[in-house]
Structure 1
């Protein structure tokens, strides 16, 4: 009986190590290259395209003021237009995130003409943290694009920096 306790602990410890390896938020992807992302704001749909067509689609949440193009810091809008995926954040407050190159030169010039900041730090990221129920409040970000944590793991693995993203009304 005494010999079983150490064996049981070793066995359970081994199982825990194996399961923790499966729980990593960093996935690998060996499929076709993602050549472009398309976001349709009115449909709340993110599309990942490859050379041969659509690879994946995801339902999304947007900024808390989803109508219209982001113009100023704090307006709660998600940008519209042509941008690039320009960075990734493995330590995001929202599980994982990939950055969008907003603001571009036109965004900066427009905001400057109004003597305001265009804002920045627009990301595609994982789901909301405590206190935000995505089922009751779909558009909850400050202008970012949200997907579930599982979905951002896929997107993070599939999309490379420099990939174009087109954001439509």
Structure 2
């Protein structure tokens, strides 16, 4: 009986380790475009919009991110540089902020540009609201984040515009 119990526990553990967040077999996402003023994010294949999402942004959404703690979402051209299936905000895709230009601008001002900017899901308290609440990240629903996580590869370009 004990051996059967251990086999079941091991099977459940292995199933959890191999958890999948969906698969995507459609056209490759060649870039992501975020229009901050519209609160929209588009997954693109060349000129074709594959998916469109409503997004929440940093709590101070107007203007480009300049320094850590300013609550702004950066503007510019970046890439998805990491994936985090253990994110405190459900799932997340890392954005390569700050780039060399961001670092130079912050240095000229004598400030820290910050970092850890992601596309991620929403905790329960923000599930139904589209308010801007992040510290500079781009937030979508958890269901949408599962889809995005399956569709977007590391290295995908992301363009964030005002």
Same fold flag (TM > 0.5): yes
Size of the alignment, in residue pairs? 147
Gaps of 5+ in 2: 1-11
| 1:133 Cα deviation from its structure 2 partner | 6.3
Tell which structure's C-alpha radius of gyration is larger: 1
Structure 1 gap segments, 5+ residues each: 1-16
Structure 1 counterpart of 2:148: 155
Question: How far has the Cα of 1:134 moved from its partner?
Answer: 4.8
User: 1:140-163 deviations in whole A, cap 9, x for unaligned?
Assistant: 000000000000000000000111
Separation (CA, whole Å) in 2 of partners of 1:144 and 1:134: 17
Residue 128 of structure 1 aligns with which residue? Answer: 123
CA distance in 2, matches of 1:134, 1:80: 26
Q: Does structure 1 residue 67 correspond to structure 2 residue 67?
A: no
- Aligned pairs for 1:89-168 within 5 A: 89-130=84-125, 132=126, 134-135=128-129, 138-168=131-161
- Could you tell me whether the CA contact under 8 Å between 1:128 and 1:134 is conserved in 2? no
Tell me, yes or no, if structure 1 residue 33 matches structure 2 residue 48: no
TM-score (norm 1): 0.81
Q: Residue 112 of structure 1: CA displacement?
A: 1.1
Over the residues paired in the alignment, what is the CA RMSD in angstroms? 1.9
Cα distance change, pair 54–111 in 1 and its aligned pair in 2 (3 A): same
Give the C-alpha shift of residue 128 in structure 1. Answer: 2.6
Structure 2 counterpart SS, 1:150: helix
- Render the CA deviation track for 1:92-130: whole Å, top value 9, x for unaligned: 001100010000001001111122100000000001344
TM-score by length of 2: 0.85
